[in-house]
Structure 1
C-alpha cells in the first residue's frame, strides 16, 4: 500500500493489484467506494475504489478479434463470461517509478511471450500518474507501443462511486448503445428519455450497464444529504462513457473510455475509438475529479 497526502486528503494505491486505487477520502467523506468483485479473480479479493483499463476498455466478444489479417484469441478473465474485460493492466503488478508526498507514477511493461500472450498479444509500456490535491485528484494515463508492429489500443479508467445519500448524476451525451444478452453492443439510440442524464437526476435503483458515445467529457455527481459534489473531467480521447449501476449494490461506476464496448469487432463504427499505434507510438489521456461543497 502507498498513501499520498495533500492537506486532509488521503489516497491509497495498490501497485501490486493492477495499479488500483484502494481509497480516496478527506475527513469523514470517501469519494470512492471500494469494491471486492469476485468476478475479477486477478484482484485477489482486494477491495478497490478504481483501476486502469489498459490496453482497452470493457469487453471483447468471446475474447476474439482480428487485426491486419490475423486472428487473436484472448484468455477469459471474468468469471461467468467468455468475453474478455478491461484489458490486462488490472491483472498485473505495476512498478513504482516516482513517489512524492502528493503524487506517484506507476509503470507496467507487458512483453509477450515472456508475459502471457493470452492476456494480450502485443508488447506495450503503460504509465499511471496520480496527483492528489486537497480538493481533487488527477489521473494521467499513457500507453506506448513497444512492439515491432502496429497495435490497436484503447484506454479508460473504472472508478466506483458511493451510491448512498441520494446520489444524483448528470452528463450530456449524444447516443447510447443498448446491450444484448451477452452484455455486448446491440443498437445505437439517442440518449433521450430514460437514457438521458442531461438534467441531473437521482440514480435510485436504476439498472444500467451501457456505453454512451459523444459525451461532453464532463460528468457531475452530487450527494445532497452530505452537501458534497464531484465533477469529473476527461481528455478529448475519452469519447465514450460507460455507466454501470447494478441494482441492489452500494456503488455505481462512471467510466471514461477511449473506445466503445467491443470496438475491436466493430470496424464499421466510425467513432468506435480504437487507436492504431505504430511502433513507438503513444496514446495519452487524463481524468480529473474535483470535489466541492454543494
Structure 2
C-alpha cells in the first residue's frame, strides 16, 4: 500500500488530502471550516464510491446551515432556548438555530482548527487537528478538542476524537459527527437501513426528548417512502454497534460502526432530508438535550480526557 498526504486549494480554502494510490481511497479535510471531511471516497471492487454529500463550492460550504459533515462539540443537536443548568448554575448559549429558538450543534462548527500531526505509515495515514475552547459565551470552560482522521490499508476510514479538560472545574461534554451519506447515484428510496437499536427517543414539537418508546421496524428496513428525523438509544452486546446502509442494486453495504459502552457513542440520530438524495447517520455520545437531562452526558473532571472512535467501511 502506498499512502500520501498533500495540501491543495479549494477556492481560497486550504485543504488536506489523504490518499492511497493502489485503491484510490481518499479523504479531503478542511481545517479552517471546522476540520470537516469534505470528500470521502472508498472502493468496492471496480468502483470508487464517493460516499459523502457536502456543498460543492467554497462559498456554499461556508454558508451551509445543514451541518454537512460537521463535528459537533461540546454538545450536539438542540438545547431548548440555549439554556442549561450544570452543577447548580444556569448558563445561556447563543440561540443559533434557524428561527432563534434553540442552541444547536455545539461551538466548533466553522472554526479554524490547527494541524497537530500528519503521518504516513505502511498500513495507514492520518491527520490530527485541534481546536481550543477557552470560555466561549455560555460555556465557561477550557477544553482542548482534537479529531484524528485516518485511512487504513484494509479500506477503513476512522474518526477518533478526544477532549481534555484544561480548566479547574468539571465541565459537561458531548460529541457527535453529522455526515450525510450517498451511495452512487441512487436516492434514499432505493436503500435499506439496519439500525442497531430497539428504542427510539420520543420528541416534543421542538424536537426535544420527552421519553422513549419501543422501536418497531424491520431489520433491515426499506427506506422507500419512510422519513426519519429521530434519535435512538443504541443496542450493543459488545464494545461497538454498526448501522448498515444497504444498496442491493449495487451489491454494497456502508457500515458505520460506533464504539459503545461507558462514555462512548451510545446514541444515534438518523435524518432523511426532504430532497431524499442522501441520509444523515449521526453517532452521538449522549442524547439530545443531554446538558439538561443528563442522558449519556459525560462530565469531564479537570485534567481528564474523554475519547471515542467511529469507523466507516464499504462491504
| Superposition TM-score tier, normalisation by shorter sequence | 0.7 to 0.9
Residue 20 (structure 1) aligned with residue 40 (structure 2):
no
1:106 aligns with 2:129: yes
| 1:280 is the counterpart of 2:294 | no
1:254 counterpart residue number: 281
Which residue among 104, 109, 125 is the counterpart of 1:90?
A: 109
SS at match of 1:181: coil
Alpha-carbon deviation of 1:285?
0.3
Instruction: State the Cα distance separating 1:215 from its structure 2 match.
Output: 2.7
Q: RMSD of the TM alignment (CA)?
A: 2.2
Task: Please tell me whether the aligned partners of residues 125 and 143 of structure 1 are also in contact (alpha carbons under 8 angstroms).
Answer: yes
Structure 1 residues 80 and 206 mapped into 2: Cα distance closer, same or farther (>3 Å)? farther
Equivalent position of 2:16 in the other structure = 2
Asked whether the equivalents of residues 150 and 276 of structure 1 are also in contact (C-alpha less than 8 Å), the reply is: yes
The answer as to 2:147 corresponding to 1:123 is no
2:314 aligned with 1:291: yes
The 5 Å alignment of 1:21-100 reads: 21-26=37-42, 28-35=48-55, 43-45=62-64, 50-100=69-119
Q: In structure 1, how many angstroms separate the alpha carbons of the residues matched to 2:17 and 2:66? A: 16
The TM-score with structure 2 as length reference comes to 0.81
Structure 1 contact 21–48 (Cα < 8 Å) conserved: no
Aligned residues: 276
Question: 1:30-72, CA deviations, whole angstroms, 9 ceiling, x for partnerless residues?
Answer: 1112248xxxx99434997522121122111111001111100
Q: Give ranges in structure 2 of 5+ residues lacking alignment.
A: 1-14
Query: Helix, strand or coil: the match of 2:169?
Result: coil
CA contact (8 A) 1:35 1:47 kept: no
Residue from 250, 254, 259 that aligns with 1:235: 259
Using the size of structure 1 for normalisation, the TM-score is: 0.87
Distance 1:284 1:90 in 2: 19
Partner Cα separation in structure 2 for residue 74 and residue 48 of structure 1: 18
Aligned-partner Cα distance in 2 for 1:151–1:158 = 23
Pairwise CA distance, 1:247: 2.6
- Give the match for residue 163 of structure 2: 143
